[in-house]
A and B are shown apart, each in its own frame.
Chain A
């Protein structure tokens, strides 16, 4: 890139460094970099607060490198590459790495958080209100930095802390709200203060005041700071041994390597955490008999669907492009515009419309074209596949029509003329000259289109939702392609999710598409060399 020289600054100094124009360039750069840094610091601080160390490190690294790159005199190419590289890092590499990470865990229903959270959940679930226990109005009290509850039981006030069981105090008064308002020896903390101080709230929520010296009687806790009830719990967490013990039955739950608390006799607590499971998800995808059979069928159909979609749409688009490229056709501009209409429609809307039109009883397709016959387009495995290919053809041939028309018009006329002079017929000049040259321009697009259709979730989901069912005891359908099968297997819709398995499957799909695209692009390059 050549920088136009201005008389006021020495040759080779960029606008961003020059003071010659009043420093405007430098100031703009400074302002932009200040923004970038402010953003980086704010994200870093949030990440620090959320204890997300990876995000913190990445943010700091990115911000520092941005400063180095843009304030250094060297690294000129980096100045251009840096934004692109950071976006690549964030949106592609990070997402892919994270998917990879999830694929090696059992992240999903029952394994969604950390072990600490599973312990919390078990303790929360275990602590129950003692049956028939009354609720008492309470005040939060403090003595020597220790919190306690003062309970109004009729006209009597009892007070206690975590270490001292509830005991009667004399001389306390009960306020208009029914809760104690003065307690001798203690300081009553106003309720407004309790509710507005987050740290105090946490302490109050975790405070348990024993009802008596006997632990069996349970302890008082408050949920909202104004009343307290007797609760009892049987599970206790032993931090040193990392076990949960049920004191009523004596059962000890130990963490298993599958991310669940498990007792010796095989009982498991509901909430687990996620753990690394190595290649298990990949192995399961390949060997689980419930998945293997259906997935093979799905894979075959995915390839058939993607290849046929590209071939049919390309063929039809090319045919129309050839026809409507002929100068003898009148009103070509208008006709071409009309052809593009399906392309201009949102695909999911079209697919939904087609779903209605293909309805065997109420749809117009059967009524108009098949004399009202009840052809079950979406209910028969083969007809449903044909219907999908047909709708996808309808949706995508205009794209190829457009692309081929453009490519045809860009073909050099002299070779064609030379061929005609040499006596080549229509077919000969098409197959030997037009098509090869056309393919050079369109083959990369065909590969992209193949990759797109390989993952064309929209049309499958909007038209058939993968149905009709395969019926051999699997929840997959006969028109499911890999991506929709993954969606079903992941179970997000039903609420019983298995993200680990779904991630493993998506990685396999990614690798398959990657390999195919690489091979195909290599072939295309050969095509280019020929022409």
Chain B
């Protein structure tokens, strides 16, 4: 293969030259990564390199051991920070330094496809065994690009001791129930002054203003859907509940303050993901339900799907497909992954199984209302502008003009 790309990245190259030798060997870990050293490659045998983060390493190890026993291949797990995986994968696959398989989130898909670093996979009719939103999320332009394994989403979390188990249907119901027990009826994270469109998105969709318009088969187009009356109505709602209005939304709340307010019982409602649950040690009875509607339509939060991607430059793609589809795709492997890192399983059978826990059931219900976070590369241009506009409106800027300026700028950036 002609590699016009002489060097992968400045650093990787520098490391090679420096004689660390780290980037030089396709399976050697760069500094800061740890490699599973127990497995020595069988002489001459094929080797699969799988990038993973710490949480999933143990579960993958189990699937890998079974796979090694059956095929005689070696599976080398390289542990990296989850946040580094996407960029490292994009930069290293074209140079031949990348892994055969990596763990990843579905919203990387657009960037991975346009970079040409992922291969399609074929799970055939087994696709029906997964939650539809998971398959939809991993599909790009009609092609399935990754094996999904878990879902995550945000939901309304309430202190059942203060406001009961019943999830309020609408924003107004929730505020009324919250005001009955506290003068801060709800805490919603805005990441401080940074803004957090992710958390706010459920409310936004309840006004019918999606970030991007979805076409008939559910794929996102690059048409911005936030403009028009629906978007302005949402902006007005942000303003009405912001510092110039009721003050229920405030830019003083970041992730930690949000969790502290809920945990201390100062507020009975919050919108958070399952990852915040460990912070709520002082709340004895937590109930989880769908996000209430603020604009009349159902609130559809973003659903994130995690799964396994296959490198388009894999030297062992037969083996890698085999490992991905016939080992990691099985119920047993998916259960092991769930046990290692409990997120809502993407496999429907498992999802139903774990939904016996009412908290998981709440998140699952919220995710079933939800939409996959757009995976098109244009989404990367959205966040900063979108977050900033929301914060400005909450802080008292004119809602309609601020919102429309953001939409216009977004449309011109995306082109």
Q: List CB contacts (< 8 Å) of B211-249 with chain A.
A: none
Q: List CB contacts (< 8 Å) of A366-393 with chain B.
A: 376, 378-379, 384
- Shortest distance between the CB of B122 and any CB in chain A (Å): 5
Does B277 have its Cβ within 8 Å of any Cβ on chain A?
A: no
Find the A residue at minimum CB distance from B4.
A114
The contact of B17 among A58, A192, A477, by CB within 8 Å, is A58
Does B58 have its Cβ within 8 Å of any Cβ on chain A?
A: no
Residue pair A473, B7 in contact (C-beta under 8 Å): no
Does A522 have its Cβ within 8 Å of any Cβ on chain B?
A: no
The contact of B380 among A58, A226, A356, A494, by CB within 8 Å, is A494
Q: List CB contacts (< 8 Å) of A14-51 with chain B.
A: 39-40, 42-43, 46-47, 50-51
The contact of B312 among A53, A121, A135, by CB within 8 Å, is A121
Beyond A109-B111, A468-B391, A475-B388, is A196–B406 a contact (Cβ under 8 Å)? no
- Shortest distance between the CB of B246 and any CB in chain A (Å): 15
The contact of A50 among B96, B316, B377, by CB within 8 Å, is B96
Does A491 have its Cβ within 8 Å of any Cβ on chain B?
A: yes
Q: How far is the CA of A222 from the CA of B45 in the complex (A)?
A: 21
Residue pair A94, B13 in contact (C-beta under 8 Å): yes
Does A474 have its Cβ within 8 Å of any Cβ on chain B?
A: yes
The contact of B192 among A122, A198, A359, by CB within 8 Å, is A359
Residue pair A477, B388 in contact (C-beta under 8 Å): yes
Q: How far is the CA of A50 from the CA of B6 in the complex (A)?
A: 9
Residue pair A90, B14 in contact (C-beta under 8 Å): yes
Beyond A196-B73, A271-B114, A496-B381, is A120–B312 a contact (Cβ under 8 Å)? yes
The segment out of B148-156, B290-298, B318-326 that lies at the interface is B318-326
Find the A residue at minimum CB distance from B42.
A196
Beyond A223-B318, A361-B250, A362-B257, is A112–B117 a contact (Cβ under 8 Å)? yes
Q: How far is the CA of A87 from the CA of B15 in the complex (A)?
A: 11
Q: List CB contacts (< 8 Å) of A329-387 with chain B.
A: 355-356, 359-362, 376, 378-379, 384
Residue pair B395, A379 in contact (C-beta under 8 Å): yes
Does A115 have its Cβ within 8 Å of any Cβ on chain B?
A: yes
Residue pair A495, B86 in contact (C-beta under 8 Å): yes
Does A201 have its Cβ within 8 Å of any Cβ on chain B?
A: yes
Beyond A50-B95, A125-B120, A469-B388, is A192–B5 a contact (Cβ under 8 Å)? no
Majority-rule SS of B interface residues = helix
Q: C-beta contact mask, A490-520 vs B, less than 8 Å → 1, else 0?
A: 0111111100000000000000000000000
Contacts of A290 on B, CB cut-off 8 Å? 412-413
Which one of B96, B107, B193 has the highest number of Cβ atoms from chain A below 10 Å of its Cβ? Answer: B193
Residue pair B321, A224 in contact (C-beta under 8 Å): yes
Q: How far is the CA of A530 from the CA of B26 in the complex (A)?
A: 59
Q: How far is the CA of A46 from the CA of B250 in the complex (A)?
A: 55
Q: What is the number of residues of chain A that contact chain B, defined by CB distance less than 8 Å?
A: 91
Contacts of A99 on B, CB cut-off 8 Å? 10
Q: C-beta contact mask, B354-398 vs A, less than 8 Å → 1, else 0?
A: 000000000000000000000001111111110011011001010
Residue pair B252, A361 in contact (C-beta under 8 Å): yes
Q: List CB contacts (< 8 Å) of A98-136 with chain B.
A: 98-99, 102, 109-110, 112-118, 120-122, 124-125, 127-129, 135
Contacts of B313 on A, CB cut-off 8 Å? 117, 120
Q: How far is the CA of A290 from the CA of B405 in the complex (A)?
A: 13
Find the B residue at minimum CB distance from A476.
B384
Contacts of B383 on A, CB cut-off 8 Å? 493-494
Find the A residue at minimum CB distance from B395.
A379
- Shortest distance between the CB of A356 and any CB in chain B (Å): 8
The contact of A118 among B116, B322, B388, by CB within 8 Å, is B116
Residue pair B317, A205 in contact (C-beta under 8 Å): yes
- Shortest distance between the CB of A14 and any CB in chain B (Å): 25
- Shortest distance between the CB of A93 and any CB in chain B (Å): 10
The contact of A114 among B72, B94, B97, B412, by CB within 8 Å, is B94
Beyond A224-B318, A272-B114, is A495–B14 a contact (Cβ under 8 Å)? no
Q: How far is the CA of A197 from the CA of B114 in the complex (A)?
A: 31
Q: List CB contacts (< 8 Å) of B1-34 with chain A.
A: 1-7, 10-11, 13-14, 16-19, 21, 24-26
Which one of B6, B18, B21, B26 has the highest number of Cβ atoms from chain A below 10 Å of its Cβ? Answer: B6
Does B124 have its Cβ within 8 Å of any Cβ on chain A?
A: yes
Q: How far is the CA of A487 from the CA of B104 in the complex (A)?
A: 23
Apart from A196-B73, A204-B318, A223-B318: 6 A-B pairs, beta carbons within 8 A: A112-B116, A125-B143, A205-B318, A222-B318, A271-B113, A492-B87
Identify the A interface with B (CB < 8 A).
39-40, 42-43, 46-47, 50-55, 58-59, 62, 87, 90-91, 94-95, 98-99, 102, 109-110, 112-118, 120-122, 124-125, 127-129, 135, 192, 194-198, 201-202, 204-205, 222-226, 229, 270-273, 290, 355-356, 359-362, 376, 378-379, 384, 464-465, 467-469, 471-475, 477, 488, 491-497
Identify the B interface with A (CB < 8 A).
1-7, 10-11, 13-14, 16-19, 21, 24-26, 45-46, 71-73, 86-87, 90-91, 93-97, 107-108, 110-111, 113-117, 119-122, 124, 141-143, 192-194, 250-252, 254, 256-257, 312-313, 315-319, 321-322, 325-326, 377-385, 388-389, 391-392, 395, 397, 402, 405-406, 408-409, 412-413
A-B contact pairs, 7 of them (CB 8 A): A43-B24, A109-B111, A112-B94, A113-B93, A355-B192, A475-B385, A496-B379
